[in-house]
A and B are shown apart, each in its own frame.
Chain A
């Protein structure tokens, strides 16, 4: 995947800046990556090879996704994406159908990191770089929910 293709899909990255941090891969998606998992594709699609907890509804509505992150990563909803020492935050993007389309994870530097579909992982200073109208089938929409969890003492 070329940088041109990423910037074509997310034009605001051109001005806002971004850095590629992995090779492209179809083996994991943003929902796994935000939970530090780079070996699963989280999806309610009922087919072997896709990961979805048995106890959750098979959809990506916000309540389901909050529960997914609570169960899988110990995250809880919070008010904003401001950096807080001792906490790790995740931002959910939500489209006009009220489905969660993307998750970005905050790094200790305060910047955000995202796995872009089957493309690469990137680091991007701003969440708004990935936002759009949320109308088209491949739109991410806008950030509509933040989650956080305490970072375990190492």
Chain B
């Protein structure tokens, strides 16, 4: 079973419509978005957010997302558009779509939430996001781009729950996790002038001292 929330980005209404795709007759709420016109009708793109599979043409201004395994489940348990817009997830969606959406007068995003998402653990979500992040940033030399990747931002959005998994990954790969750690913990155990290798060592010691490793 899936729940669908349709959200206009430039909101003409703040209400969201939840539709059970397998049983639309029991929709919790129906909201008519007559202003969408054909923008909604041409939505054909499907993107398995977090899993990294992108299908179809994303140029139409209306997108369909299947958050699948990588979305932190708590986000959707009590879903409403307003807090979602303030969340890092929403910023990630917007950053991903970028100018394609800005080009439309009434762009919309359709979010499709499989019910099974709720049962995914933080560890499973972390693994999916970390894998996507590595695949899509491994060739980059700009640390800014590396840490602004939507999957990395979503891991930061998981908060302290993600720390044991981040430290495990840092110990294994010695990759660019120190920004996420600094953002989540609001700490920085590294010293000024340290090289990246030394900063990683400082973070690993901090992780041990604080029981995350």
Q: Which residues of A contact B (CB under 8 A)?
A: 1, 5, 9-10, 26-31, 39-41, 43-45, 47-51, 60, 99, 101-103, 115-119, 137-138, 140
Contact = CB atoms under 8 A, between A and B. Distances in A.
Contact of A26 (B142, B174, B179): B174
A154 B55 CA distance: 56
Contact of B139 (A48, A60, A116): A116
Contacts of B186: none
Interface of B: 136-145, 147, 149, 173-176, 178-179, 182, 188, 190-200
Contacts of A31: 141
Nearest to B193: A48
A119 B138 contact: yes
B143 A41 contact: yes
B197 A29 contact: no
A140 B139 CA distance: 9
Given A26-B175, A26-B176, A101 B142 contact: yes
**Which secondary structure dominates chain A's binding surface?**
loop
24 contacts: A9-B138, A26-B173, A26-B174, A26-B175, A26-B176, A27-B196, A39-B197, A45-B143, A45-B144, A45-B147, A47-B182, A47-B188, A47-B190, A47-B199, A48-B192, A49-B194, A51-B195, A101-B141, A101-B142, A117-B140, A119-B139, A137-B149, A138-B136, A140-B139
Contacts of B190: 47-49
